[in-house]
Structure 1
Amino acid sequence: MSLYNFKKIAVVPSASDFLDIVLSKTQRKTPTVIHPGYKISRIRAFYMRKVRFTQDSFDEKLGLMLEDFPKVDNIHPFYADLMNILYDKDHYKLALGQLNTARHLIDAVAKDYVRLLKFADSLFRCKQLKKAALGRMATIMKRQKDSLGYLEQVRQHLARLPSIDPNTRTLIVCGYPNVGKSSFMNKVTRANVDVQPYAFTTKSLFVGHMDFKYLRWQVIDTPGILDHPLEDRNTIEMQSITALAHLRACIMYFIDLSEQCGFSIEDQISLFHSIKPLFANKPIQLVFSKMDAQRIEDLGEAHRAMVDQLLKEPGVETSALSSFTDEGVMDTRNRACERLLATRVEAKLKTNKITDVLNKLHLAQPTEKRGGVDRPAFIPEAARGRVRYDHQDPKRRRLERDLEVEEGGSGVYNVDLRKHYQLKDDSWKYDAIPEIMDGKNVADFVDPEIEAQLEALEREEERLVEQGLYESDEDILDSEDERIRDTAASIRERKAIMKAESQLRRSNTTSGLPRRIVNRSVTNRDLQTHLEGMGINEAVSEAVARSRSCAPVKRARSPSRAESLAREASVAARAQSQVRSRGEVGLRSEDITKSTKLKRMAERSRNQVARQGESDRSIPNLKPKHLFSGKRGVGKNDRR
């Protein structure tokens, strides 16, 4: 796995977004209500908490940002030089330094204003000091607008960089543009690098991975390099130079003998000599690409002499390939990997660590032959099939694979699983019921004459049925049993009637007074006597009863004006008496007092919860005007 993963760096917000995040967090996480009537110590603590919390939020956000970004002095030289080429190391350090300075300035502002808040003598003075503290912190962060914007661009570019492990087994493909580097990369790895018939198609480093000898390898495709001085090379070429200079890898330098890349063989050989100092202490593999278009044997004498002179360089091996026909691609890859493995082993043997490893290894060898007899290595015949599978060995153990081939192959041969059963008697393996208990299977416990015995029992049963053994007269109930049955039926019927009457009474007495009188035999005198016994005013009950009575309407003569006025006065008086005595109709006075008390007791807990404290967040205006008014297009009602 790679040691550096820049994709985990958090997004850097802009200065305005940074302030919104911190100040909204302060508003959400701290109390929001304070009153002038509180003690001054409580008011001071309220506003000091606001200032300290805002300082902690700024410090936390800036600290995480500074930790996420890599420090140029602490990372691998390859990544340090790569960042210097892409972003300018001085600008990068300056931006991080400004954020670190801003964090210290915010801490100093918070410390000063907390000291001033300790001596504030009123709520207004505390509020103004808190306002000034948060304003100075916001001003400091607004000045970091350019640094935050620059770091966000750096973060986006770092996230697009490939994850390269500088210490693993690596092959670096380099050379002039359009010589076949990306095509070779796509052939040997699972990468998908863009390949086009023009120069500088690859503008950055691409990493692909492959497996060789059960090991993971990474292959780096570098942008093309031109033959000119180092100071004249652009950013794209300097990425290749950085990888060649700092990564311990096998260098695969590609040369296009057909000159289809647009550069002559002389230019390609000259570039090899100019960048050869970067190949020090690294295995070099010269790869002649596009051999389907031009082979070494078909070169002219001048070019052949230049190539032969190049092959005489110390530590240089050659190979040829064609990515178009896949000729020599795997052979070139394998030779490069073998050279790199051998170089890494030699480098480890030259270190001091190998001494510690060799001290832990000891191979015991006999100094002389025991008894003067030569005893070579011997593998028993029983283990020969387990050690190796040799079809030509006649002494090897027969395997299921051999039986499958002899019996017709896959899909025809059926594996015999019962032959491996470990039973007391091998003849039991292929029984229809092979379950064994005490040396017997289930079939051993079955009586062989059980079917004949079952048939005899069935015949005996039929004979008894024909003789009428199972037939019997109906039981004759005596008079006592009949009487008990009738009594039980009458009791069940009476219970059903009582249950129905109870349900009827319950449905009619759900309210204070019945909706209708079921018993028509009760007179007004009986009702008045009952109400007097309960302590209810007789006149009130009579007026109410008279008002609720429904007398039949008769056609009569039209009354005179005096009679109409008298009737209206009587109706008004009756209605007023009803309103005056309405509270006394359903309940007694003591019952009304008791119900009112119970009502207040039940509301007490809800009233206590309804109180608001200083830490409760209140939203006085659910629809502030600045969020729900303004110019909107026709049919557009989305305010946010």
Structure 2
Amino acid sequence: MIFEGLPTTPRSGELVDKAFSRAARAGRAKSGHEAQESMLRTAGNVLSDNLENVVVSWPDFGFDVDPFYYELADAIVDVDELRQSLSRVMWTARRIETLRDDYSSRLRSSDLETATKHRKQAFARMADLMDDIEEDLLRIGEARDALRTLPDIRPDEPAIVVAGYPNVGKSSFVNAVTRASNEIAEYPFTTKGVQVGHFERDHIRYQIVDTPGLLDRPADERNDIERQAVSALEHLADVVLFVLDPSGDCGYPLEVQLALREEVRTLFDPSIPVLTVANKHDRFEAVKAEAVDATMSVTEDENVDEVLEMVVEAIAYEPELPTRDRSEK
């Protein structure tokens, strides 16, 4: 997952202590002007290098982050504020490099006492710059901690998003078609784990995603963050599988479930198929033909494979084949 490998973000005070401690050690190894310059360059390098590493460890939200993860991240941390903090940290890294070089020139042309004063002035200005970005580093660290917990969903693979009220059999279906390969991950803003499963057809890997807390109740029951997370799913889904329980044993009448299905349809682009499957068909006699695309019983293992094939056909995924250079022979 794109945010999984982000390193721990250092705090401003930690970096200053680290930089000045290393500078002191570097100074003890030399004497005179050479000691002052070594201290200055060591402190400047430690600060600028660490700050730059903080920034470059993040993907470029404008180019490297898929729209699915962009919207999901924005729902959690406010991407605009995060990008501003990253920009300020990088500016500070460059500013510290400039201070390092400027004061290095000054102390070389000064007597030892003045050179020492210049080095101390540079340290004070570097410390002030680090104080100015204390909140930015905290924001970046908090964002890193939140985004690392996002589930590993691959936007480049065909995806089935499962929707429907709780207890209609969504998780059972995901378990049945993915066997033991499914994973449980958590969104920071949901109380239940997001279930991500995988299966293969014709050497193509499909992912199937059950998102409890997002597509299992009407929009007016979701908060702003959950609504934005739902909008992120629009960028992920190649097909939506809406699961009904016509028996009503799930605790929601059939007409209420159908109303949610119609709402789900409006959330996705019209080009994304929304297929309806009635689960527990061994528990009821009939379902109106216009209400469903298929029926199944996960507990009885009836028509489960047929439903999966229906979904795969609806996606009609065609992998991009590498093009051969016409110049090759």
TM normalised by structure 2 equals: 0.84
* 1:211 pairs with 2:184: no
C-alpha separation between the residues in 1 aligned to 2:104 and 2:167? 66
Q: Give, in angstroms, the shift of residue 11 of structure 1.
A: 0.7
* 1:337 pairs with 2:326: no
Could you tell me which residue of structure 2 aligns to residue 228 of structure 1? 219
Report if aligned partners of 2:159, 2:237 keep a CA contact under 8 Å in 1.
yes
C-alpha separation between the residues in 1 aligned to 2:69 and 2:271? 21
| Residues 55-66 of structure 1 mapped to structure 2, 5 A cutoff | 55-66=44-55
Q: Give, in angstroms, the shift of residue 132 of structure 1.
A: 2.0
CA displacement 1:101-129 (0-9 Å, x = unmatched) = 322332232233223213321x2222222
Q: Give, in angstroms, the shift of residue 188 of structure 1.
A: 1.9
C-alpha separation between the residues in 1 aligned to 2:29 and 2:71? 54
Q: Give, in angstroms, the shift of residue 252 of structure 1.
A: 0.9
Q: Give, in angstroms, the shift of residue 83 of structure 1.
A: 0.9
Q: Give, in angstroms, the shift of residue 77 of structure 1.
A: 1.0
Report if aligned partners of 1:252, 1:287 keep a CA contact under 8 Å in 2.
yes
C-alpha separation between the residues in 1 aligned to 2:70 and 2:190? 25
Q: Give, in angstroms, the shift of residue 78 of structure 1.
A: 1.0
Aligned partner of residue 172 in structure 1, secondary structure: strand
More strand by share: 2
* 1:156 pairs with 2:153: no
Number of residues of Structure 1 aligned to a counterpart in Structure 2 = 316
**Which residue identity lines up with residue 296 of structure 2 in the other structure?**
L
CA displacement 1:288-337 (0-9 Å, x = unmatched) = 12334335x1x5xxxx3xxx4445xxxxxx22223333332222222212
Q: Give, in angstroms, the shift of residue 237 of structure 1.
A: 4.7
Aligned partner of residue 259 in structure 1, secondary structure: coil
C-alpha separation between the residues in 1 aligned to 2:304 and 2:183? 17
Q: Give, in angstroms, the shift of residue 81 of structure 1.
A: 0.8
Report if aligned partners of 1:179, 1:289 keep a CA contact under 8 Å in 2.
yes
Aligned partner of residue 307 in structure 2, secondary structure: helix
* 1:328 pairs with 2:319: no
Report if aligned partners of 2:173, 2:298 keep a CA contact under 8 Å in 1.
yes
Aligned-residue Cα RMSD (Å) equals 3.0
CA displacement 1:245-265 (0-9 Å, x = unmatched) = 112522211122122333332
**Between the two proteins, what is the percent identity of the paired residues?**
25
Report if aligned partners of 1:182, 1:193 keep a CA contact under 8 Å in 2.
no
Among candidates 6, 9, 31, match of residue 9 of structure 1:
6
Change (3 A) 1:89 1:219: same
| Residues 209-608 of structure 1 mapped to structure 2, 5 A cutoff | 209-223=198-212, 224-225=214-215, 226-228=217-219, 233-243=223-233, 245-277=234-266, 278-295=268-285, 297=286, 304=288, 308-311=289-292, 318-340=293-315, 343-345=316-318
Aligned partner of residue 160 in structure 1, secondary structure: coil
Q: Give, in angstroms, the shift of residue 273 of structure 1.
A: 2.1
**Which residue identity lines up with residue 285 of structure 1 in the other structure?**
L
Aligned partner of residue 148 in structure 2, secondary structure: helix
C-alpha separation between the residues in 2 aligned to 1:203 and 1:173? 15
Could you tell me which residue of structure 2 aligns to residue 102 of structure 1? 92
C-alpha separation between the residues in 2 aligned to 1:309 and 1:175? 18
Report if aligned partners of 2:198, 2:207 keep a CA contact under 8 Å in 1.
yes
Q: Give, in angstroms, the shift of residue 27 of structure 1.
A: 3.9
C-alpha separation between the residues in 1 aligned to 2:299 and 2:84? 49
Among candidates 28, 39, 42, match of residue 32 of structure 1:
28
Change (3 A) 1:215 1:52: same
C-alpha separation between the residues in 2 aligned to 1:124 and 1:50? 15
**Which residue identity lines up with residue 337 of structure 1 in the other structure?**
V
Could you tell me which residue of structure 2 aligns to residue 181 of structure 1? 170
Report if aligned partners of 1:222, 1:239 keep a CA contact under 8 Å in 2.
no
C-alpha separation between the residues in 1 aligned to 2:66 and 2:37? 45
Could you tell me which residue of structure 2 aligns to residue 139 of structure 1? 128
Q: Give, in angstroms, the shift of residue 88 of structure 1.
A: 1.4
Change (3 A) 1:268 1:146: same
**Which residue identity lines up with residue 219 of structure 2 in the other structure?**
H
Change (3 A) 1:155 1:68: same
Aligned partner of residue 209 in structure 1, secondary structure: strand
C-alpha separation between the residues in 2 aligned to 1:183 and 1:252? 14
C-alpha separation between the residues in 2 aligned to 1:180 and 1:111? 65
Change (3 A) 1:17 1:201: closer
**Which residue identity lines up with residue 107 of structure 2 in the other structure?**
L
* 1:170 pairs with 2:159: yes
Report if aligned partners of 1:205, 1:239 keep a CA contact under 8 Å in 2.
no
Report if aligned partners of 1:186, 1:193 keep a CA contact under 8 Å in 2.
no
Aligned partner of residue 186 in structure 1, secondary structure: helix
Report if aligned partners of 1:205, 1:240 keep a CA contact under 8 Å in 2.
no
Report if aligned partners of 2:280, 2:298 keep a CA contact under 8 Å in 1.
yes
Q: Give, in angstroms, the shift of residue 235 of structure 1.
A: 2.4
Change (3 A) 1:188 1:24: farther
TM normalised by structure 1 equals: 0.45
C-alpha separation between the residues in 1 aligned to 2:97 and 2:317? 51
Structure 1 unaligned spans of 5+: 36-42, 195-199, 312-317, 360-640
Change (3 A) 1:61 1:238: same
Change (3 A) 1:26 1:221: farther
**Which residue identity lines up with residue 173 of structure 2 in the other structure?**
F
**Which residue identity lines up with residue 275 of structure 1 in the other structure?**
V
C-alpha separation between the residues in 1 aligned to 2:246 and 2:311? 20
Aligned partner of residue 286 in structure 1, secondary structure: strand
**Which residue identity lines up with residue 328 of structure 1 in the other structure?**
N
**Which residue identity lines up with residue 272 of structure 2 in the other structure?**
K
C-alpha separation between the residues in 1 aligned to 2:75 and 2:131? 29
C-alpha separation between the residues in 2 aligned to 1:320 and 1:310? 11
C-alpha separation between the residues in 1 aligned to 2:70 and 2:219? 24
